[in-house]
Structure 1
Amino acid sequence: MLAAPLASHAETRPLRFGVVADPQYADAEPHLGMGRYFRNSLDKLRTAVAAFNAEDLDFVVTLGDVIDRDVASYAAILAVYATLRHRHIVLLGNHDYSIAPDRLSAQPGLLGLSATHYEYTHGGIRFVVLDGNDVSLFAPPQGDPRWQIAQDRLGHLAAQGAENAKPWNGSLGDAQFAWLGGVLGDAKAKGQRVIVMNHYPVFPANPHNMWDSDRITALLDGQPHVVAYFCGHNHAGNYGEAAGLHYVNFHGMVDTPAENAYAIVEIERDRLDIRGFGREPSRSLRLRTA
């Protein structure tokens, strides 16, 4: 799998790409209390891939949590992704790190990633992919200083009674946050629109939001060329708009026994249209201008 599509976009048609969030596959019995049907994600993903393959798309993105647990889970679901005829962009979610501790440092390579956060330009749009697991309780290997920073951040939020003070959320390291600011500044100088993608939501307020969501939204809201933020993690889905910036939380594929959840996004001029399938709602969103 490739971390970033490199081909130029033909100006004769809109930019179009597929979106999947939280397949969370495992060869495991359902968790009925949470409504998670892990095995069923294989057939759901096959259906989504067939729909994507029937369309003229620039790429397909999975917004994290390809698996629910165990490195062994990757074999079956990556075999389904291998039938995709489009480039596949993949983000890491918290469940992608539910693997043996001695495999944590090798995790990005399991999905063919050379970096966990990166950016690329396609169809004149700058896509910025964040790694919300950067400072967390599950991604940093033992002895990594980011683990203690994560403890401190979570403890601080918990002391404030913050609803997102959950051990299954994460945050950006300061170096990645500075990198994000630099990429946004470069895109602004080049007159490029930006879409940010991350596994974790940051807005509206929600128990699933990143620990440092406030500083991220403050940065994004002050960048009028940033037009959308796409994420997963909250399987119920969500949507919010702030000063014309659209925060779209896509529904989790793993939920429900049979009903699917995926989407095809089309961007043309001042519009972003989401064609939802199954539980994913369709939306037509007007893009703000810098």
Structure 2
Amino acid sequence: MPSRRTVLAGGAAMLAAPRPGASAAGSTALRFGVVADPQYADADPHLGLQRYYRNSLGKLREAVAAFNAEDLDFVVTLGDVIDRRAESYDAILPVYAMLRHRHVVLLGNHDYSLAPEDLTAQPGLLGLAKTHYDYTVGGIRFVVLDGNDVSLFAPPPGDLRWQIATDRLGRLAAQGADNAKPWNGSLSDAQFTWFGSVLDDARAKRQRVIVLNHYPVFPANPHNMWDAGRIVELLASQPHVVAYFCGHNHAGNYAETAGIHYVNFHGMVDTPAENAYAIVEIAGDHLDIRGFGREPSRALRLRSA
């Protein structure tokens, strides 16, 4: 029986951003798979929340098989790989290891639902050197945000970000904001500045941008980031940003504003058997989402940069 360290190290080998270069099979189209919120745990269902934790292993195997049958540039998981406990990775990372594609992974709030002795090891448990980063595939710049940066659960004890999170949540609660929830988070000012600089660089290089984050920011929703307003305002000023993909709100959502498509993908964990994942294809001015199970298909028109 391999140790947890061996299992995690083996699974983490796949958890890297795709190398820059041409899209799959030399095609002019960019194609990638999307999974949101598997939230696996060896735990009984929570019927009140419609969470079927153990069932995510079978659903993820089905999704991996579908992805492996396609020519894709990468597969992205939009956070919450697990629901709780570091040992949950022992079961789910070997499923991801069956992918024949690169796997891009984001951290969600539940990825921090760990014992104190394991918390300091995150994000290394998923093989991540950084929690926010960017990469380019097929001429499109993908920007990965870390919405846990300033939160009540990710910063280690004594970190100044914990007090900032407490203050931000308190102000939102005093305003009666729907997203004043302890399971949401926000960007640090340092990450927000980095985000703006990456967007500026992409614009100078005439690259279209897709933002990836665990948390939604638009439209208004109880699951939105605490600082959703400044993020949406920044994106609206960037004509080369075409889409924002997220999870966290398991019911899914979609809206368009300022020419940007905000797509909230459905949570995989939410049903006993019906799955939820997608394959995205971008060619020219078209972004097509082929949804499976609960995930709807969408045909979206992209604005010119």
TM-score interval (norm. to shorter): over 0.9
Q: Distance in 1 between matches of 2:217 and 2:270?
A: 21
Kindly indicate whether residue 17 of structure 2 is the aligned counterpart of residue 4 of structure 1: yes
- Paired amino acid for 1:188: R
2:20–2:136 Cα contact (<8 Å) kept: no
- Paired amino acid for 2:294: R
1:228–1:248 Cα contact (<8 Å) kept: yes
Instruction: Quote the residue 1:74 is aligned against.
Output: 89
Instruction: Quote the residue 1:242 is aligned against.
Output: 257
| Aligned length, in residue pairs | 290
The residue correspondences of 1:30-49 to structure 2 (distance < 5 A) are: 30-49=45-64
SS at match of 1:106: coil
1:104–1:140 Cα contact (<8 Å) kept: no
- Paired amino acid for 1:6: R
SS at match of 2:270: coil
Q: Distance in 2 between matches of 1:14 and 1:183?
A: 23
Moved more, 134-143 or 103-112: 103-112
Q: Distance in 2 between matches of 1:109 and 1:48?
A: 24
1:97–1:139 Cα contact (<8 Å) kept: yes
Percent of pairs with identical residues = 80
TM-fit CA distance, 1:9: 1.1
- Paired amino acid for 2:16: A
Kindly indicate whether residue 236 of structure 2 is the aligned counterpart of residue 221 of structure 1: yes
Instruction: Quote the residue 1:276 is aligned against.
Output: 291
Instruction: Quote the residue 2:98 is aligned against.
Output: 83
The residue correspondences of 1:142-181 to structure 2 (distance < 5 A) are: 142-181=157-196
Instruction: Quote the residue 1:257 is aligned against.
Output: 272
SS at match of 1:274: strand
Q: Distance in 1 between matches of 2:101 and 2:33?
A: 9
Q: Distance in 1 between matches of 2:187 and 2:242?
A: 20
Q: Distance in 2 between matches of 1:85 and 1:217?
A: 35
Q: Distance in 2 between matches of 1:13 and 1:194?
A: 17
- Paired amino acid for 1:28: A
1:3–1:89 Cα contact (<8 Å) kept: yes
Unaligned runs of 5+ in 2: 1-13
TM-fit CA distance, 1:31: 0.2
